[in-house]
Amino acid sequence: MTSVQNHQLQLSGNNNLRKSYLIYAVSLLLGVSACTPKSTVLRAPSNPGQVTSTESNTAKTEEEKAAATKEAEEKERRIAAERSIALLLPFQLDNINKLGVQESDVKRSALALDFYQGFQLGLNEVSRNAKPYSLKVIDSKDNVYFNSTLASSEEIDQVGLVVGPIYPIEIKAFGNNLPNKDKLIISPLAASPASEFGLNNLVTITPSIKSHTNGIAKRVAKDFITGDIIIIYNTSDNDSRQFLSGMLNAVKEYKSTVNIVSVSTLAQLNEKLSQTGTNLVISGTTDKTQLNNLISNLSKRNTESYNSIKLYGHPLWDRFDFSNHTNFYNLNPIITSESSYKPWTATARNFKELYKQKFGVLPSDQSFKGYDVAVYFGRLIDKYGVDNIKSKLTEESYTGLFNTYKFIYNDNWGFTNEAVSYKEYMHGAFQLQ
C-alpha cells in the first residue's frame, strides 16, 4: 500500500484550474491506494534469540515455530485490518485522454472526488482523538468485471470495512464475488432497494422508495384524527405505482382505525372528499400533467367548496416548480426527504468553511454524504471494533450533516436505512420541518 501525504487541493476559477485540480487528484489516486492519515506498517514480533542444536530440549519444534509465526501474522493482519478501510469509487482514471485532462474528465470524476474529499475530512475528524485510519482509495472504474475480480483481491482481504462501489451493477458484481461474507459492504449512494442485491452483509445508506412510502404512511397515520378520511390517489405512471405500493397496508399498520379509501380518477376522488373532517390525500405521481390536474382540482375544491385538504406526495416533488399554482401552499403539501441538511447550523457552516479552505470549492451533497459515512462508521469502529459493528448497527442511530441513519436488518438483504425527514411547502419551496 502506498502512503500518500495529504496536500491542499484547488478547484476554483477557470477550466485550467479545474483541470489542474483533477490532474493533482489523479496523481494521488493513480497508485490505486492512499493512506489517510499516514500510518506505519506493522511488523511481526522479532525472535528474542537464536536457538542452537544443543538447546533442543528447550527449543520449539519446527511445527511450533510455524504455528507461532502463523499466529503472529494473523494477529498482525487483524490489527492492520481493524482500522483499514477500502473506498471504492468510479474515478475512471483509465478513461482520461492521454493528451491531457479534459473538462469531460473533470465532470466524470466529480462525484467520486467530492465523496472522497468529504470522506477524508470525516476520517480526519474521527482520528483527531483516536488512532489514525488507513484508507485505501481504489478506482472502481465503473467496470463490472473489474469489480468482480477486485472483490477477491489481496487489497480487499486486508481491510476491515469496504465503502462502495456506488453503482448497483458494480455492487452486485463485487458483493457476489466477495469471499468473506462477514465483511460489511457499505453502499453509500445507490437508492436501489436492498432486496435487488440479496447480500446480507450490505449496508444501504440511502433510503429506498419503500422507506419513503413507510415514512409518508407513518406521517399520515399520525396526522389522522377521528372524522378525517385518507384518500390514496392512484395514477398509471411508474413513480406513482412504486411509491403507493403497499401504502394502504402501511398506514393501517401504524393506525388500524383509520378511514382510508383508494381511487384512480379525479371524479372518484371528488366523490370521496369529506365536508366535515380533513381530507388527507396521498399521491405518488411525478407526471407533470397528472400532477397539475390534481393540484388544480384540489385547489378548486379547497377554495370554492371549502374542503379541508392536506396533500402528501412523492419525494421527487422537491425538484418541481409549483409557482404556477398560487394556492398550492393552502393544500399543506408534505413530502419525505433523505436529507436532514440544515445549512444554518454551526456544524454545517464550519464544514463548508473547512472544505473550502482545503479544496478551494464549496462541498456538494456528495461531500456531505462522504463526511457522514466516515464519521458514523469511524466512531463505531472506535467504540466497538470493526468485527463487532455488525451487531450494533440497528442500535446506533445517527444524525449527521446531511443524513440521518436508523438501520433495520433483514436476513436476505442486510441493513437498510429507514430514516427519512419531512419537508413542508412554505414560501415557494419545500423546507425541512
DSSP single-letter state for residue 207: P
- Tens of pLDDT, residue by residue over 291-324, are 999 999 999 999 999 999 999 999 999 999 999 9
Burial class of residue 74 in the structure, from the number of CB atoms within 10 Å of its CB (0-12 exposed, 13-18 middle, 19+ buried): exposed
pLDDT value of position 94 = 73
Highest mean pLDDT among 5-19, 98-112, 316-330: 316-330
pLDDT of residue 12 exceeding 50: no
pLDDT of residue 41 exceeding 50: no
Considering only the C-alpha atoms of the chain, give the largest distance between any 2 of them, rounded to a whole number of Å: 106
pLDDT value of position 4 = 31
| Phi, psi of 385, deg, nearest 5 | 90, 145
pTM attached to this predicted model = 0.83
pLDDT value of position 34 = 39
- Rounded Cα distance between 206 and 183, Å, is 20
- Rounded Cα distance between 164 and 33, Å, is 14
Instruction: Kindly report the average pLDDT of the chain as a whole number.
Output: 86
- Rounded Cα distance between 295 and 315, Å, is 16
Helix (H) and strand (E) counts for the chain? 13, 16
Burial class of residue 24 in the structure, from the number of CB atoms within 10 Å of its CB (0-12 exposed, 13-18 middle, 19+ buried): middle
Of the CATH numbers 3.40.50.2300, 3.40.50.1000, 3.40.30.10, 3.20.20.80, which one belongs to the domain with range 15-41+61-207+345-417?
A: 3.40.50.2300
- Rounded Cα distance between 399 and 415, Å, is 17
- Rounded Cα distance between 251 and 277, Å, is 18
pLDDT value of position 43 = 31
**Average confidence (pLDDT) over 20-44:** 43
Nearest partner of 171 among 209, 138, 144, 139, judged by Cα:
144
378: Cβ–Cβ under 8 A, 6 or more apart, which residues?
122, 123, 125, 126, 127, 133
- Tens of pLDDT, residue by residue over 315-361, are 999 999 999 999 999 999 999 999 999 999 999 999 999 999 999 99
- Rounded Cα distance between 292 and 281, Å, is 15
Whether residue 165 is preceded by a cis peptide bond, meaning omega within 30 degrees of 0, is yes
User: Hey, how many other C-beta atoms are within 10 angstroms of the C-beta on 315?
Assistant: 27
pLDDT value of position 52 = 54
pLDDT value of position 37 = 38
CB of 371 closer than 8 Å to CB of 401: yes
**Average confidence (pLDDT) over 54-73:** 67
pLDDT of residue 93 exceeding 70: yes
Strand partners, 282: 232, 312
Per-residue confidence at 153, pLDDT binned at 50, 70, 90? very high
**Is the Cα torsion angle 327, 333, 338, 341 positive or negative in sign?**
positive
- Tens of pLDDT, residue by residue over 237-284, are 999 999 999 999 999 999 999 999 999 999 999 999 999 999 999 999
pLDDT of residue 69 exceeding 80: no
Cα within 13 Å of Cα(3), Cβ side:
8
Amino acid code (one letter) for 245:
S
In this structure, of 126-130, 155-159, 289-293, 402-406, the range with the lowest mean pLDDT score is: 126-130
46: Cβ–Cβ under 8 A, 6 or more apart, which residues?
none
- Residue with more model confidence, 407 or 130: 407
Q: Domain 210-337: give its CATH code.
A: 3.40.50
Amino acid code (one letter) for 133:
Y
In the chain, CATH 3.40.50.2300 sits at: 15-41+61-207+345-417
